[in-house]
Structure 1
């Protein structure tokens, strides 16, 4: 065959035709590629990419993308995942290394899930790589329902832990992110929940610099967090998502170069007359937010930007800045990346819920537990105990393992199950004993015995209809009689030919009860649910893509048939739940618990709070709780009243608290010999609790927040002035102080090496030796504090400036070193700048804070250091 020789110009032309487009050219910077890609978009296409549900732009090969995802303590709302302790529990570990391990495991599962979703063409909510985690707001008041999502009340502890969590999420590649983390909610945000859409936070400059902003600055400068979520509330008169002052602080002062996302539907508050109401229209609100640096809208307002440009509220060039930031983020997550360029794409799906991750969840739960009291060394209990009574509403409740913003474990272990597994040769019995709080139901699945297919009440069960659409429309594909409604579908569907992630179901029939009384009727659903009683809608669950119990109290008369209709909608998720729940009248809860306790050798109480009472903007119908927040810090009276009666029996008692915020357990602290704080401990919580109670693990957690004795000890919840709140400003004696926690062993501190003086612009190097002087190996949390000798009334009295969790064998000694930088010792002066002044500071090291009026197991060593050399101005 004769060889064809092509002319040179044709060869060149063919070469040019194969030239890689700028946005796909890996030799170009991400900024150059994003700028070019955005230049190809129409105005409408640009605006479409600025909402969390970003549609496909097929002509530019940009796939659909949903920016909304959560991984507060494990991959959330996306099917089976490893569930670690709620964030406040991870804060109680005081362990930076463990935080990084947890985040690495979480991001492994997140990457694996994303690629599995994408392989099936699924790009919806909770299926992307941009995660709205962590919540690093300061838990300044124990009444705040969302405080459980934070790492506690101290900005230094919060910042140090958040840096590690963010690094673990975002990965170690210099070009591509493993995930993108989001620090939220910027900046002064911590309740009350009922006012968050209209509240105007006006912190003093002292509090802004000392408390509300340092940890945000830290995660930007030290962790490189690539996304920040602005808060619902206003800051100094302007909504945070429309506040140029906050954008300037982030970008100009701290060097933030990522993107800002609004909290969900926060920009609606700009023009909502019941909220901030700072603009008249959606167009003005959207323009205001973008001009203030809010690049991405979780909500429905930004589509109005097309009209806003046409009306002159904002220019297309101003929009380009935001769109380019968002495209850079997607490029750095792997959009248009050559095959093999993003190493995280190779993470196998079998990492999800793997044995290693389950063990890590157990280790993390153990580390989060705080031993608050152990009178006469009651703990650990002997495993040879014969009869154990496990009593309390939190003993066997999955809800209190998971907290909120949670995933779904394959094998969760409640405290009851953990104790049963720990004692195979003992008789372990359980009684609820009381409600968590008066008015909160104790839910059970409605039994088949009270459900009937028709009004004749002859056949038990409900008529079930299953549809391939979302609205129970048309003829059902399947009909059958279900005994009751208690379903969990995990990437499966009720029938093979119905899509597992897009179907609906309807159950109809009658309910007839044997006893007249007040019943709670409701359900738990993922995604949407409606419950009708005698054709009246009594419970509606919106399609919000995460399960939650909804209910209503109704009076039912004995032996009367009541018509029931229950509808369920499953919309684009990999995990489906539908449970028809009730609470039937029961006057014997307390009697059952007391009788059980009388027959037992030891009583283990599982009390506390519930995610059904505390959380984000909730409709709570229980006295003492409002909108997800608490009105008091006491343990609900139902629980204390029961414990007082049980205590009179004279049996050994152990109290395990499961809750997301501090509780005033004054009576319990005086009368119950052993108390453990377990938080919302995640999937392995029950095993971890049993390990501590029976001596297979030596606890070392420390409180990340102050437990006050009374709500009147602190200022009003709505007061954002820090005076009188948290250990840094509180002048009274708490029930348990920040940093408090006991061990089964003892530690001794010696050779505290700290200079007597240091120049104000120099780092302070500190060392101390720690020895395990007890009979059990264990971990110690070494804490270093700086306390002002002269309190100026504006700056914190005391600051945590260093901490280290370490393991020590019996008799072992280790040296711990700390480096304290000048900024950690700075005060805010009358000009509102941070300055290190000539003054005397007391440095204290030990297993707790120094406090002469509170008993401490460990000896705390304190030495004075003179700062010299003149005022040193901190340059941010």
Structure 2
């Protein structure tokens, strides 16, 4: 996936702060004076080149400490000017050389023009559209989360350099996905606090990183890599079997025209990159499938709402096809901000369409579901004619190609669900306004998320299949963990269910878990190792919670040692009835897939 930004952003320093709600992380990238201009230039304070008087202001003196510069600025501002800075569309203070600034820009899964601070134009007509966050989270791949953040950061800086964006982005959304009907669940990393924290920290770390490169774009045998079909198509896609995305850096094409003089015109630079194998458009599922096999397309519904399904035409096509791929689900007309769902059924007559087409199909039926939240698709799960179910979230600009790669076995999927898929009966009895996580037996409230909900599910948190099976074996784990207590502590003389988490007794209190993970299949692939813990039943503790996860990539029949370090007070603690964190004493159980290991925590 490639950005259309034409200029590399300069080296910029970054800091981030949380807004009052923990929904968004706020990214701020502070500029320096070393920047590239295109059609228009960015505006910034302390621009001595255009206003020499600002050089006398203390807050413009980069040799001073930040706190001194801030203090100098604050004392110069009037009350009215300060008030003008308290909104997203901050006013200018011309007497101090401070231009107006729009703080509101968005970069949930790529730089977006949703906020007023970002504009696309003929200079930068768009930015990379990555998969929606809920799908990216399903990779359980922290390095991927960070890598996406780095790309978004580079593209955002490039847009700032040509005056089309600011340097502050309201991302990511790290709310816990508590209710499957919530329209904005798609924006989140799912229902687990650890996964959400790993996603948030990794993505922000990526946003805060600078590119750090220079204009020495790589050449091989005198040919820029982005223009070399032998490298891109021959080696990378051919010999190395890459069926993924090839990305130019933001200004690679500009560099090998303007700096390396490899082409005579900018148009020739773009053409050579495209001919060499760099994509620049979205792919739909139909395009992805059609690129590999002859495909007959029938619209089963006029739109996602599917008021009336076109069942007869779809059945006729399925009856003559070797295999049928049904793409169903939702879109932003069904679920989004300010639009929650009222049930967990597929919209309109989609269920009827799937059922009837499956009955009529000559060959296997592959059900592809696009959505942010889960659906009750028990009918499809239990239908023997439906041989595969593929949830693809909202998969971004290369989603069609990715779907086809999985269907045709060119890629071994390794995603795991970051949220529970509940049956319709769950939402029939759970008010959306009741956000309590824990179940309540007195009124039949079943609780929320895999940590507390004990009822039936369609699919559970962490579920997912690939084309390889992976075995786990325990290599190292303790049987007993002892917590040191000071003399005279009450728990020496009486029975205690838990201990307060305090720094003195928690310091260096950790142990290692080593697992052997083996790919027992015939295809190389990734595997997500999820380490859960079930604590003793104290303080209304969760039935289990995620301690950690690691992504491993193994060739067929290869084995690797995966290591976790468990911090007793951080990972094994629970929150009591009044909000204090406690380490539960007694038997804990570790889970990895079907593997379980019990150990005791004592004093």
TM over 0.5: yes
TM-superposed CA distance for 1:830, in Å, is 4.2
Question: 1:577-615 deviations in whole A, cap 9, x for unaligned?
Answer: xxxxxxxxxx78322222222232211000011111100
Instruction: Give the secondary-structure state (helix, strand or coil) at the position aligned to 2:349.
Output: helix
Measure the CA separation in 2 of the matches of 1:347 and 1:439. 53
Instruction: Give the secondary-structure state (helix, strand or coil) at the position aligned to 2:426.
Output: helix
TM-superposed CA distance for 1:163, in Å, is 0.7
Measure the CA separation in 2 of the matches of 1:92 and 1:52. 33
Q: Is the 8 A contact 2:306 2:350 kept in 1?
A: no
Give the corresponding residue for 1:635: 346
- Match for residue 839 of structure 1 among 586, 593, 596: 586
TM-superposed CA distance for 1:837, in Å, is 2.9
Does 2:468 correspond to 1:422? no
TM-superposed CA distance for 1:721, in Å, is 0.7
Measure the CA separation in 2 of the matches of 1:818 and 1:37. 47
Give the corresponding residue for 1:805: 551
Give the corresponding residue for 2:380: 668
Query: Counterparts in 2 of 1:170-319, with a 5 A limit?
Result: 170-171=208-209
Give the corresponding residue for 1:51: 87
- Match for residue 703 of structure 1 among 417, 420, 423: 417
Measure the CA separation in 1 of the matches of 2:370 and 2:579. 41
Give the corresponding residue for 2:471: 748
TM-superposed CA distance for 1:810, in Å, is 0.9
Does 2:480 correspond to 1:434? no
Instruction: Give the secondary-structure state (helix, strand or coil) at the position aligned to 1:668.
Output: helix
Give the corresponding residue for 1:103: 149
Q: Is the 8 A contact 1:106 1:169 kept in 2?
A: yes
TM-score (norm 1): 0.49
1:691–1:18 Cα change, 3 Å = closer
Does 2:395 correspond to 1:681? yes
Instruction: Give the secondary-structure state (helix, strand or coil) at the position aligned to 2:95.
Output: helix
Does 2:339 correspond to 1:608? no
Q: Is the 8 A contact 1:632 1:711 kept in 2?
A: no
Rg (Cα) greater in structure: 1
- Match for residue 716 of structure 1 among 419, 428, 431: 431
Give the corresponding residue for 1:862: 596
Give the corresponding residue for 2:537: 791
Instruction: Give the secondary-structure state (helix, strand or coil) at the position aligned to 2:382.
Output: helix
Q: Is the 8 A contact 1:436 1:607 kept in 2?
A: no
Query: Counterparts in 2 of 1:122-141, with a 5 A limit?
Result: 127-141=165-179
TM-superposed CA distance for 1:707, in Å, is 0.8
> How many residue pairs are counted as aligned between the two chains?
452
1:417–1:804 Cα change, 3 Å = same
Q: Is the 8 A contact 1:633 1:711 kept in 2?
A: no
Give the corresponding residue for 1:765: 512
Q: Which has the higher contact order (CA 8 A, sep 6+)?
A: 1
Give the corresponding residue for 2:184: 146
Higher strand proportion (structure 1 or 2): 1
Give the corresponding residue for 1:40: 76
Give the corresponding residue for 2:28: none
Q: Is the 8 A contact 1:415 1:685 kept in 2?
A: yes
Query: Counterparts in 2 of 1:6-85, with a 5 A limit?
Result: 20-77=56-113, 78-79=119-120, 80-85=126-131
Does 2:443 correspond to 1:731? no
Q: Is the 8 A contact 2:414 2:528 kept in 1?
A: yes
Query: Counterparts in 2 of 1:197-596, with a 5 A limit?
Result: 410-423=280-293, 426=294, 428-435=295-302, 438=305, 589-596=310-317
TM-superposed CA distance for 1:429, in Å, is 1.4
Q: Is the 8 A contact 1:71 1:106 kept in 2?
A: yes
TM-superposed CA distance for 1:63, in Å, is 1.9
Measure the CA separation in 2 of the matches of 1:824 and 1:346. 45
TM-superposed CA distance for 1:824, in Å, is 1.7
Q: Is the 8 A contact 2:318 2:357 kept in 1?
A: yes
1:98–1:362 Cα change, 3 Å = farther
Q: Is the 8 A contact 1:787 1:799 kept in 2?
A: yes
1:637–1:725 Cα change, 3 Å = same
TM-superposed CA distance for 1:708, in Å, is 1.2
Measure the CA separation in 2 of the matches of 1:701 and 1:828. 30
Question: 1:85-123 deviations in whole A, cap 9, x for unaligned?
Answer: 001001111000111111101111010011111xxxx5x
Measure the CA separation in 1 of the matches of 2:192 and 2:170. 21
Instruction: Give the secondary-structure state (helix, strand or coil) at the position aligned to 1:112.
Output: helix
Instruction: Give the secondary-structure state (helix, strand or coil) at the position aligned to 1:867.
Output: strand
Measure the CA separation in 2 of the matches of 1:422 and 1:613. 31
Q: Is the 8 A contact 1:436 1:639 kept in 2?
A: no
Question: 1:193-250 deviations in whole A, cap 9, x for unaligned?
Answer: xxxxxxxxxxxxxxxxxxxxxxxxxxxxxxxxxxxxxxxxxxxxxxxxxxxxxxxxxx
1:83–1:717 Cα change, 3 Å = same
TM-superposed CA distance for 1:435, in Å, is 4.7
TM-superposed CA distance for 1:344, in Å, is 8.9
Give the corresponding residue for 1:654: 366
Q: Is the 8 A contact 2:309 2:353 kept in 1?
A: no
TM-superposed CA distance for 1:811, in Å, is 1.3
Measure the CA separation in 2 of the matches of 1:705 and 1:145. 14
Instruction: Give the secondary-structure state (helix, strand or coil) at the position aligned to 1:866.
Output: strand
TM-superposed CA distance for 1:709, in Å, is 2.0
TM-superposed CA distance for 1:149, in Å, is 0.3
Does 2:566 correspond to 1:820? yes
Measure the CA separation in 2 of the matches of 1:142 and 1:410. 34
Give the corresponding residue for 1:552: none
Q: Is the 8 A contact 1:783 1:845 kept in 2?
A: yes
In the alignment, structure 2 segments of 5+ residues that lack a partner are 1-52, 114-118, 121-125, 218-225, 247-278, 439-446, 484-505
Pairwise CA RMSD: 2.7
Measure the CA separation in 1 of the matches of 2:89 and 2:281. 33
TM-superposed CA distance for 1:650, in Å, is 4.0
TM-superposed CA distance for 1:42, in Å, is 2.0
Question: 1:758-803 deviations in whole A, cap 9, x for unaligned?
Answer: 1343112111010111111111100100012x42362211010010
Instruction: Give the secondary-structure state (helix, strand or coil) at the position aligned to 2:168.
Output: coil
In the alignment, structure 1 segments of 5+ residues that lack a partner are 1-16, 173-177, 179-342, 349-353, 366-408, 441-586, 618-627, 847-859, 870-876
Q: Is the 8 A contact 1:634 1:710 kept in 2?
A: yes
Does 2:525 correspond to 1:774? no
TM-score (norm 2): 0.71
Instruction: Give the secondary-structure state (helix, strand or coil) at the position aligned to 2:451.
Output: coil
TM-superposed CA distance for 1:20, in Å, is 4.8
TM-superposed CA distance for 1:43, in Å, is 2.0
Q: Is the 8 A contact 1:112 1:345 kept in 2?
A: no
Give the corresponding residue for 2:444: none
Measure the CA separation in 1 of the matches of 2:216 and 2:419. 37
Q: Is the 8 A contact 1:436 1:608 kept in 2?
A: no
Question: 1:810-859 deviations in whole A, cap 9, x for unaligned?
Answer: 1111000001222221122344310113221001123xxxxxxxxxxxxx
Instruction: Give the secondary-structure state (helix, strand or coil) at the position aligned to 2:291.
Output: helix
Give the corresponding residue for 1:113: 159
Instruction: Give the secondary-structure state (helix, strand or coil) at the position aligned to 1:731.
Output: coil
Instruction: Give the secondary-structure state (helix, strand or coil) at the position aligned to 1:865.
Output: strand
Q: Is the 8 A contact 2:520 2:557 kept in 1?
A: yes
TM-superposed CA distance for 1:345, in Å, is 11
Q: Is the 8 A contact 2:305 2:334 kept in 1?
A: no
Measure the CA separation in 1 of the matches of 2:144 and 2:468. 22
